[in-house]
Amino acid sequence: AVNPCCYYPCQNSGVCVRFGTDRYQCDCTQTGYYGDNCTVLRSNLIPSPPTYNTQYGYLCWESYYNVSYYTRLLPPVPGDCPLPMGTKGKLTLPDPKVLAERFFKRKKFRPDPRGTNLMFAFMAQHFTHQFFKTKHEVKAGFTKAFGHGVDASHIYGDTLERQHQLRLHIDGKLKYQLLGGEVYPPTVSETSVYMKYPEDLPSEQKLAIGHELFGLLPGLSLYATLWLREHNRVCDILRAEHPTWDDEQLFQTSRLIIIGEIIKIIIEEYVQHLSGYFLNLKFDPTLLFKERFQYSNRIALEFGQLYHWHPLMPDSFNIGHEEVSYSQFVYNTSLLTHFGVETLVDSFSRQVAGQIGGGKNCPEALLKVAEMTIRESRQARIQPFNEYRKKFNLKPYTSFSEFTDDSDMAKGLEDLYGDIDALEFFPGVLLEKSRPNAIFGESMVEMGAPFSLKGLLGNPLCSPGYWKPSTFGGETGFQIVKSSTLQKLVCQNSRWCPYVHFRVPS
């Protein structure tokens, strides 16, 4: 018989393996595709248009149309089930505090085996907070980020009013201040936007940023500063080519370029880093033009849950040659303005982040967040982890010892949950054993990637009607998007070029 692999059945870099004489299997691992011949795009696992939400476990107009809800992949556990997770497990779920203490809390810092650094960690947080913005004032399942994707609302504000407060209204630029000749975000008093800061912080240290919480961490204010400088740099370039354009057109076109740059950097460097460099990811929207694909996105509650990557955070921060504790780090915008962009980038790029998966690696300072995430998931009645395994074409786990190699954890979880089919979604994705030498486990990859790809490539910028030079003010702007890199983002907006990467130097 002819070796079936001679017909090259496996598409998109899938690997063909011959079985017996006339059978084959395609290994689609890490290709972004799945199915017999690796032809089905990963993001096809995400329903589009969106379906359920926390209020509606059935299709209805309200659920489709009301964008103040997160959508969800699986409907809530029905309210009238005999047990909290359906029909399996115990009468009461484990105390979130106990789960956090026993299985999430870091004992000893465990670095990511792939050398992921803090530059990556803060990019993760900065990037995702434009679309994860849970409205905590109301019950679970609502968002304040109505853009549902990469809209750069964390740079420009999530309302039109906030955007105008942050804009200079000259040449399309954003407001800024000069400190020692360097551009930084303006102060709160120069913009009158709301920012969350401690009352007693001196007013000149209250920086005004698109996202109202980004004064919390110097890593977030750093990225805010970089994107602010990049926006204004792009405005100058556009103005030189279009001297007739008004402030509005320069602003709007620069914003599209910034969104395009974000998507480019996230796919080719950030997702590329996460993928472990097995394949070469390319941001080329034209490759999708021939596929059946919806250019729209709705952020799912489950995506927000699985992105709680707090184990990335170290025990303390090395900046310059100083060790900075959490209490010295939070709300300390003077670290950024004192050390400057270059030193912060250099320091964050050289400090290794924690391994996300496998449990027992969440810094004590952030344990409360893990606890709150579990509480939120129960309010939202998220279905069991194994149901999501099935939804994503993964084999459900049959025991806790298959789920984790940590026998203390396997036994502890068994005692508390009683049944692997009652294990909750969030502990599932975070505590699952990591893949060998990887940052997290199979489920995080197989569930996170489709959400992520859908959010990135479902952006209107990637659609045939938008993906063309004129959208970006001409070939110059189009080229800025197509050639943007993390290194350029930093080095075209700083005095000297530091070590800048998503991985510590080898």
Contacting residues toward ligand MNH, per CB under 6 A = 121, 124-125, 128, 132-134, 136, 217, 304, 307-310, 312-313, 366, 369, 372-373, 376
Residue type, 232: N
Give the residue with the Cβ less far from ligand MNH, 37 or 443: 443
Give the residue with the Cβ less far from ligand MNH, 128 or 332: 128
Give the residue with the Cβ less far from ligand MNH, 23 or 375: 375
On the 0-12 / 13-18 / 19+ scale of CB atoms within 10 A, 376 is buried
Contact indicator for 370, 362 with CB cutoff of 8 Å: yes
| Tokens found for residue 140 | 């679970």
* Cα gap 417→340, rounded to integer Å: 49
Q: How far is the CB of 300 from ligand MNH (least distance, A)?
A: 11
Give the residue with the Cβ less far from ligand MNH, 31 or 305: 305
* Cα gap 275→452, rounded to integer Å: 12
Q: How far is the CB of 121 from ligand MNH (least distance, A)?
A: 5
* Cα gap 480→258, rounded to integer Å: 9
Give the residue from 222, 454, 203, 463 showing the smallest Cα distance to 348: 222
> In angstroms, how far is CA 385 from the centroid of its own chain?
20
* Cα gap 315→220, rounded to integer Å: 18
Contact indicator for 372, 380 with CB cutoff of 8 Å: no
Give the residue with the Cβ less far from ligand MNH, 158 or 446: 158
Give the residue with the Cβ less far from ligand MNH, 186 or 354: 354
- DSSP class per residue in 214-230: TTS-HHHHHHHHHHHHH
Q: Give the three-class secondary structure for 313.
A: coil
Q: How far is the CB of 283 from ligand MNH (least distance, A)?
A: 21
Give the residue with the Cβ less far from ligand MNH, 134 or 272: 134
Does residue 129 have an active-site annotation?
yes
Residue type, 288: L
How many angstroms separate the Cα of 147 from the Cα of each of 124, 132, 239, 266, 298?
Answer: 18, 10, 27, 18, 8
Helices (H) and strands (E) in the chain, counts: 20, 10
Give the residue with the Cβ less far from ligand MNH, 153 or 373: 373
Q: How far is the CB of 317 from ligand MNH (least distance, A)?
A: 9
Q: How far is the CB of 141 from ligand MNH (least distance, A)?
A: 11
| Tokens found for residue 288 | 């999708």
Q: How far is the CB of 347 from ligand MNH (least distance, A)?
A: 15
Q: How far is the CB of 416 from ligand MNH (least distance, A)?
A: 22
Q: Give the three-class secondary structure for 186.
A: coil
* Cα gap 391→388, rounded to integer Å: 5
Give the residue from 214, 171, 217, 167 showing the smallest Cα distance to 192: 167
| Tokens found for residue 230 | 């990049």
Give the residue with the Cβ less far from ligand MNH, 298 or 310: 310
Q: Please identify which of the residues 307, 331, 388, 397 carries the catalytic annotation.
A: 307
Q: How far is the CB of 133 from ligand MNH (least distance, A)?
A: 5
Does residue 270 have an active-site annotation?
no
Q: Please identify which of the residues 33, 70, 129, 331 carries the catalytic annotation.
A: 129
- DSSP class per residue in 293-348: -------BHHHHHHT--GGGS-SSEEETTEEE-HHHHTT-THHHHHHHHHHHHHHH
* Cα gap 16→18, rounded to integer Å: 7
Question: At which residue do the structure tokens 């063909």 appear?
Answer: 16
Of all helices (H) and strands (E), which one includes residue 40? strand 40-41
Q: How far is the CB of 288 from ligand MNH (least distance, A)?
A: 26
Q: Which residue's CB comes closest to ligand MNH?
A: 134
Residues classed as catalytic: 129, 307
